[in-house]
Each structure stands twice: as structure tokens, then as C-alpha cells.
Amino acid sequence: MTSSVSSERLDELRRNRPRSPFLKGSALAAASLIAWAWLAGGGMGTVLSAEQRARNLGRFLEKLKPYPVQQGGDWSEALPWAGQLLRGNGLEACLSTLAIATGAILLSALIALVIVPGASRNLTAATPFGLPSSRHPGGWRALGAITRGFFIITRAVPEYLYAFLLVAILGPTAWPLILALAIHNTGILGRLGSEVIDNAPPGATRECLARGGRRYSVYITTLLPECFNRFLVYFFYRWETCVREATVLGMLGLLSLGALIDNARVARRLDEMVFYVLCGAVIVMLGDFLSALVRHRLQRR
């Protein structure tokens, strides 16, 4: 009996569920675009036979093996080979990549934390969090528009363009890469931070504002402590992204994993290229472990 009632209730809910023509149209448009892209690429097929593609894949996979293994040695010789690469420029490049990414994300996080209240629609509204305020509502609305525009501009321009421009101005040092990544990530962290603030539970914030607290002081004393763990998640996520981007930007010529990867690619030493790519992956995994550890300690407290 209960099962029958539940089935009838589910059928009723299914029949009365909201239907959105926009979602149906979007799904149809997406399916049409996928079909069009598939059919439009029909003339781009390869002229290689299956046997030739298999041979090319075999040669490619063979070149990915460490050099001693390619020369007939066993895999026990791969570890000394990797150590030799690290003792060469590998370790220095790893540390340089790590330093560039860490410096950039710390700088961008500091800037974003200071000005992110200006991008919050709830804080900069004429009635912050629904409470009336006579403290320069027009000025706060203007500040909100300017701050959100600043975040849009900084994240809209790719970090590669910032890096090219800054290298031309400052020369081939680490600072152009740090500043390029910091500018771009300031916009991203600012946008994410403002969304976190706007979606935070308003109870404590409304109480502080009702008792006469100012908007920025409420952000410092209430919103920032309450949202800090979320901020930290985004901080470490963007730090991982900075490691990857610092690796790519190193191809501009600075000693980093990107420069070593590019040199190995040009010299067709695919084994070394893969090794340096894996070094970057190890740095990201260590960062993920550190992120989980820090957030776990904060949650326990």
C-alpha cells in the first residue's frame, strides 16, 4: 500500500514538474552544434593508414621512456637518470616555478581580500543585507560598480598578454611573471570572494549592521572569519593554477619548468619533457595535500 502511494506521488510530481522552454531550446541548440561540428570536421580526416598510425604511436611511446631504457637498459637505471636531471637544472627550475606561483597568489590574495567588499552586491547596496543605511549609499554603489569592473578587466586579459607586456617593460626577470599571474588572479579571486560574501548566511552580518556597525568593519569582524575556509579553498585552487601557468610562462625564457620543457621539446627529447611535466604535477599534488591539511586543522579548531 505504501509503495503504491509513493509511486502515485512520484508520478504526480513528475507530471507537475516545472518545464522550461529555454532549457529545452538550449539542449536542442547544443545537440545541433555538436552534430554540426562533427559533420564539418569530416574533411579533416587523416590520410595515414591504421598500420602507419600504430607505428607512429609505438615510436612515440618508445621515446617517452627514460633515455637509459631506450638504450637497452632496465628500468632500475631510470632513477639515477631522473636524479641527474634534477641535479642539473631540474631542482632549480622546480623551486623557481614554485616561487613564482606562490609569490603571485599571495600578492593577488592580499589585494583581493582588501578590496573584495567593494565587489559584494550585498555590502555595496543602498540597503546592505536588506537594512536601511544613510552612510553614503550612492558612494558605495559607485564603489561596487568600479570594483566589479576592475575585477572583470583584470581577469578578462589572459596572463600571457600581461607577461609579454611586462617582460618588455621590466626585462627577463621573475617579476613580470609574478605580476602577470597576480593581476589575472586578483580578478578571479575577487569575483569568487564577492560571491562567497553574497551567499554567506546573513544572520550575524545583519545583527552587526543593525547595531550600528559599518560595512567594512562588519566584513572584517563577521564575514571574513565566517567565509575564511571558503576563501582558503579558492586560494589553494588558484595556487595550483598558478603553478601550471608559471610552468607555461617559463617558456618566455626564464629558468623554470616551462623553459626546460620547451628546450626538451625543441631537442626532441620527449623523455625529459615528460619528466619535467611530472615534476610540475608533483608540485601540484603537494599543494593539494597541504590544502587538505590546513583546512582539516582549521575545521578541527
**Number of structural domains found in the chain:** 1
Angle between helices 270-300 and 91-115 (to 10 degrees): 40
**Residue 36 located in a structural domain:** no
pLDDT at 43 over 70: no
Ranges of beta strands (E only) in the chain are none
Q: For residues 68 and 77, is the Cβ–Cβ distance under 8 A? A: yes
Q: Is residue 70 part of a domain?
A: no
User: What's the pTM?
Assistant: 0.76
Residue 35's pLDDT is 84
Whether residue 136 is contained in a domain is answered as: yes
CB-CB neighbours of 179 under 10 Å: 21
214 contacts 135 by C-beta, under 8 angstroms: yes
- Say if 74 falls within a structural domain: no
Domain that includes residue 198, residue range: 82-300
Residue 40 inside a domain? The answer is no
The yes-or-no verdict on residue 14 having pLDDT over 90 is no
Mean pLDDT, residues 272-281:
88
Q: Look at residue 132 and tell me if it is in a domain.
A: yes
CATH number at residue 294: 1.10.3720.10
Q: What angle do CA 29, 34, 36 make, to 5 degrees?
A: 90
In a domain, 66, yes or no: no
In this predicted model, what pLDDT tens digit does every residue of 230-251 receive, in sequence order? 888 889 889 988 888 888 887 7
Distance (Å, whole) CA 135 – CA 81: 67
* Within-domain flag for 50: no
Which pLDDT tens digit goes with each residue over 142-187? 888 899 999 999 999 888 889 888 888 888 888 888 999 999 999 9
Q: Given its phi and psi angles, is residue 92 left (phi above 0), alpha (psi -120 to 50 degrees) or beta? A: alpha
67-122: pLDDT as tens digits: 888 887 778 888 888 888 888 888 888 888 889 999 999 999 999 999 998 888 88
